[in-house]
Amino acid sequence: MKSVVKNSIQIILGALIYALAINYFLIPNRIGEGGVTGLTAIGYYTFRIPPALTNIVLNGILILVGFKFLKRETVFYSLWAVIWISLFLRVPVLWPYHTSQTIIAAIAGGVLMGISMGLIFRAKGTIAGSTILAKIVNRYFGIRNGSAMLFFDLIVAIPSGFIIGFQNMLLTALELYVSAVVLNKYLDAIGAKKSVLVLSKKNRAIGEALSANLGQGVTMLKATGFYSQENMDALFYVCSNRDWTSVMPIIMSVDPEALVVTDQIRSVRGRHLPDL
């Protein structure tokens, strides 16, 4: 319950920042968006349809798609995010940011979008639209969330040039790129994981030290040296970026000559196993 409350509050904060980016930076300067949000902007520019209405209708349809491919928990949090985004989009805009230097609005909007989606993604949700598609691609193919989302968003953003003009379409593409970069950096810095492969004659002692100090299990693999044909244990360990700062000192304290190979993990699937 504590985790649910924390995630719900974080999603509300992300939804607030998302709505601020749209109402205060993008729409006042006729900058579009990708995915469903881009369609809401086009609907507003062309037919004056309230963005909140378009957002909740189209995203409701995509959430139904999410039921088939995503966890029920993710779908619930996504619905929660869509509701709050729609509510915040209806709040009257007091001081919209109008500027002749529209590139500033595009960059500022992109940064806010990236931060808001990072908050929502970290809380196990999405903003529906292209982010649901990005979550599905990330889960099944391991492509980074921001990169997959940028692809789907550009599918909507590029044709929007016929409505908002070529220059604003380019600004929209810039805003989407900035938001994707910010989202990837945010998730890499806070939520990403690293895999560690250790080859050492003292792997069992290293595994015991990692497990004792960081409170996680370690997987031991059987390995054979190709040249020497010598059998030995290989240690495989998955950790967060936060724990990574402690991993290397622990390994080096046991065996300073250990061979350590690390890699950034883009996607982790499956249950938490006691030995991994």
Q: H/E element holding 58? A: helix 51-69
**How many other C-beta atoms lie within 10 A of the C-beta of residue 219?**
13
**Cα–Cα nearest to 234, from 217, 224, 221:** 221
Please write the tens of the pLDDT for every residue from 103-126.
Answer: 999 999 999 999 998 899 888 887
Q: How open is the CA angle 72-13-239, to the nearest 5 degrees?
A: 60
pLDDT band at 14 (very low <50, low <70, confident <90, very high): very high
Where are the domains positioned within the chain? 2-190, 193-265
Range with the poorest average pLDDT among 14-28, 38-52, 193-207, 222-236: 38-52
Helix axes 166-190, 145-157, angle to 10 degrees: 170
Q: Do the beta carbons of residue 258 and residue 251 sit within 8 Å?
A: yes
Identify the band that residue 274 occupies on the pLDDT scale cut at 50, 70 and 90: very low
Helix (H) or strand (E) holding 158: none
For the segment 231-257, the average pLDDT, to the nearest whole number, is: 82
Position 276 pLDDT exceeds 60? no
Mean pLDDT taken over the chain: 80
Q: How far is the first Cα of the chain from the last one, in angstroms, to the nearest whole number?
A: 25
92 to 24, 50, 56, 89, 272: CA distances (angstroms): 10, 12, 18, 8, 45
CATH topology of domain 193-265: Alpha-Beta Plaits (3.30.70)
